[in-house]
Amino acid sequence: MASSQFKNWGAVTIGKVLVTPMIAIILCAAPVTCAQNYAHPSKPKEPVADTTQTSVANTDPSRTIEMHESSGNRTLDKQRVDTRGANGEYVPTAETETETVRVDATTTRKVVRTYQWDVNGNRNLAQVTEEDARSSASGDTHVVSTTSSADAAGNIYVMAREVADTKKSGPDVQETKTTFYVLDGNGGLAPSVQTQELQKSNADHTIEVTKTTLAPTSTDHWEVSEVKKSTITDDGKTRISDERISKSDSEGRLSEVSRTVGRETENAAGKKSYTVETYSTELPGITSDGGLHLSRVETTVQNKDSGGADGEQQVLQPKAGDPLSGLQVTARTKYTVQYGGSVEQQAKATQERDVNGNFNTVAVQTQKSEQAPAAQGQTAPAPTDKPK
């Protein structure tokens, strides 16, 4: 469940595009698309709730409340963000509901509804994303995701669509082609970006992924704008990932602009270590020479036992004003997780270095979760920028 991982600390942001009424009318032929079906779903019994309190320097405190409900082939996850009102009480500002229905053995439908509160305290539907995923016996999948937005009058309009097809071309090889559509200015949707991903698993425990991003040209063709190549090696004890990104210039020539190398290890006592190194052709304060330079190092150490877990994360970056002289610690975060029966408590504090070299606490986060003890095996995740 999301509550047992630090990655859910913070508000959820959902951003997509706007729509045309004619497309909305056409989509209402589907049972889950019409506006009347966007109503608040029925509430299953015994939901599990988590509350996250967040305090950030120079900002008002906030809290995030997460709930999970399950009934039969349907699950409902909710996340609501509250902020401090004028009288000191918490008032809701945004809410996201994710409803997932397993239609049959090959079809899953998911609807994500985003609500916002106005100045009068009314909750209004702001955005809806509907996903229909179908699979075949061979392992191929077809996924269509449509995003709609509400105007000032509450009318729902389609604004974007994503179509992804995944096919297995061999026992260890699969290809995914995804096309993104946005409004074209004439009341319809037009393709804006396309990605082609090839994933291959090798006998030496490596996974190779090549993802090519294409953009449409004025002549209705596609041209390569970016190529991302990743290699992941996992022997059960050590996991190493290497991601390289190349981008094309104005003449269509590809050149490498960044590289990210991650390493994850765990010893017999359960101590985990993560290191992520990022190299870039761009460093702040200097003119690019076209070569790759170490621009960021993120290290995380994590310990856990039957009573909980603790860890520390450090971020190293080039020194301000002298980026070629080496890296220094610019931020550090300490966290603890404590288990107690069906309750899990988490705390995280982040410090950043100021211009005088001193570390100041900029954020303190606490979370109390009600969950089954079986979930205690989950602790803080690896660094967020580890290659995927």
Q: Specify the residue for token string 């020539």.
A: 253
Q: What is the mean pLDDT of the chain?
A: 83
Beta bridge partners of 358: none
Query: What confidence score (pLDDT) does residue 371 get?
Result: 52
Render pLDDT for 88-131 as a digit per residue (tens, 0 to 9).
Answer: 899 999 999 999 999 999 999 999 999 999 989 999 999 999 99
More confident position, 73 or 387:
73
* Total count of domains within the chain: 1
Render pLDDT for 168-193 as a digit per residue (tens, 0 to 9).
Answer: 988 899 999 999 999 998 889 999 99
Domain presence at residue 221? no
Domain presence at residue 86? yes
The pLDDT > 90 percentage for the chain reads 58
Query: What confidence score (pLDDT) does residue 277 get?
Result: 98
pLDDT at residue 9 above 90?
Answer: no
In this structure, are residues 51 and 64 in contact, taking their beta carbons and an 8 Å threshold?
A: yes
Q: What is the pTM of this model?
A: 0.76
Query: What confidence score (pLDDT) does residue 225 get?
Result: 96
SS (H, E, C) the chain: CHHHCHHHCCCCCCCCCCCEHHHHHHHCCCCCCCHHHHCCCCCCCCCEEEEEEEEECCCCCEEEEEEEEEECCEEEEEEEEEEECCCCCEEEEEEEEEEEEEEECCEEEEEEEEEEECCCCCEEEEEEEEEEEEECCCCCEEEEEEEEEECCCCCEEEEEEEEEEEEEEECCEEEEEEEEEEECCCCCEEEEEEEEEEEEECCCCEEEEEEEEEEECCCCCEEEEEEEEEEEEECCCEEEEEEEEEEECCCCCEEEEEEEEEEEEECCCCCEEEEEEEEECCCCCCCCCCCCEEEEEEEEEEEEECCEEEEEEEEEEEECCEEEEEEEEEEEEEEEEEEECCEEEEEEEEEEECCCCCEEEEEEEEEEEECCHHHHHCCCCCCCCCCC
Domain presence at residue 64? yes
Domain extent at residue 139: 1-149
User: Which is it for strands 293-305 and 308-319: parallel, antiparallel or unpaired?
Assistant: antiparallel
- 335 vs 358: CA distance, rounded Å: 20
Domain presence at residue 339? no
Domain presence at residue 130? yes
Query: What confidence score (pLDDT) does residue 207 get?
Result: 96
Domain presence at residue 366? no
Render pLDDT for 336-348 as a digit per residue (tens, 0 to 9).
Answer: 998 877 778 889 9
Domain presence at residue 134? yes
Render pLDDT for 34-77 as a digit per residue (tens, 0 to 9).
Answer: 333 434 444 445 566 788 887 777 778 888 999 999 999 999 99
Query: What confidence score (pLDDT) does residue 30 get?
Result: 36
Query: What confidence score (pLDDT) does residue 46 get?
Result: 58
More confident position, 30 or 199:
199
